Structure 1
Amino acid sequence: MKKWYLLYCKPKQEQRALENLANQGIESFFPAHFHSRLSRGKRVVTEKPLFPNYLFVALDCDSGSFSQVKNTRGVSSFVMFGANYQVVSEQLIDDLKAVNPSDNTIDELPFSGDKVIIHNESYKTLEAIYFEPDGDKRCILLLNLLNKDVKISVKNSDITKLD
């Protein structure tokens, strides 16, 4: 009977381990999400691991392919507690697979026209409208003061998007 086990991979080699396990015909799973950030004035979406350096493999307990998996390029070792390999429940794997990565996008910056809250000392908890990026680390906001929209520039880390 196949069970899911937890593997620890070498740093930044999860994809390499996935490819090599697939070449050996071993079922594996690497949960990830998409992360949106601003790079050189453009929005870039990258895939980031949900659990960095870890991936899941489905193995038959009786097949004896544990050493084959452990010696795969990119794999460091199995996660173990004492002398036992860490078994992961089928339900957890199904739940992780059910989450669609495209639905799981984390936006670091809002889009133009989105409402934000400012969290810096000058404009404590004021609402504003995101206008456009101002370089890599700052953005321009429209702040309504005395019924007039005023453009201000603040750090990206000082704002959070309102739902």
Structure 2
Amino acid sequence: MKWYVVYTKPKWEKRAAEQLTRLGVNCYCPMIQKIVQRSDRKKKVEVPLFNHYIFVQIAEKDRNMVFLSPGVERYLFWLGKHAIVKDKEIETIKEWLTIGDTATEISVMQYQIGDKIKLHSGPFCEQNAFVKDITKTHYILILESLGYVLKVKI
């Protein structure tokens, strides 16, 4: 079965994934911990990694089943076809989230904007990347094979 990308209503990612799981659909909604500032305190909350998107693994004939959840709006399309995510890409996201905040260390002096590099550690180990931008505190890398823009803390 293929992984499809489903577009949800705002703030419905987790609820839609739970509802679809109860219906027997294999869902994945990657979540991260984020610290938010409240008026009187800082609070750690769990938020979706991708706003409005969840991944569903479902047979092509059962694709309409996702609309049984009121939080689901539509499928995501790419070039006129349903957007499909490879199993390896889902596994990469899961692996990245289990590793957590450990970032690959990169030296500012070593790389310039436009350089092509290969990551040797961290969640995206062995992935090729292009250095898009360098700031005082972060590198902005483009992982073309996965279609990601990665912000790495220096």
Q: TM-score range by the shorter chain?
A: 0.5 to 0.7
Quote the residue 1:22 is aligned against.
21
Match of 2:67 among 70, 78, 81: 70
Quote the residue 1:57 is aligned against.
56
Tell me the TM-score normalized by structure 2.
0.59
Structure 1 residues without counterparts, runs of 5 or longer? 106-159
RMSD: 2.5
Q: How many correspondences in the alignment?
A: 105
Asked whether the equivalents of residues 34 and 101 of structure 1 are also in contact (C-alpha less than 8 Å), the reply is no
Quote the residue 2:93 is aligned against.
96
**What amino acid sits opposite 1:70 in the alignment?**
F
Structure 2 distance, partners of 1:46, 1:7, is: 23
**What amino acid sits opposite 1:90 in the alignment?**
D
Asked whether the equivalents of residues 5 and 53 of structure 2 are also in contact (C-alpha less than 8 Å), the reply is yes
Moved more, 16-25 or 37-46: 37-46
Q: Which has the higher contact order (CA 8 A, sep 6+)?
A: 1
Q: Which structure features the higher share of strand residues?
A: 1
Relative to 1, partners in 2 of residues 1:12 and 1:101: Cα closer, same or farther, differing over 3 Å? farther
Q: Is residue 77 of structure 2 the alignment partner of residue 85 of structure 1?
A: no
Moved more, 65-74 or 4-13: 65-74
Deviation at 1:102, TM superposition (A): 8.0
Deviation at 1:55, TM superposition (A): 0.5
Percent of aligned positions with the same letter in both sequences?
A: 28
Deviation at 1:101, TM superposition (A): 5.7
Tell me the TM-score normalized by structure 1.
0.56
Secondary structure at the aligned position of 2:74 is classed as strand
Matches within 5 A, 1:117-136: none
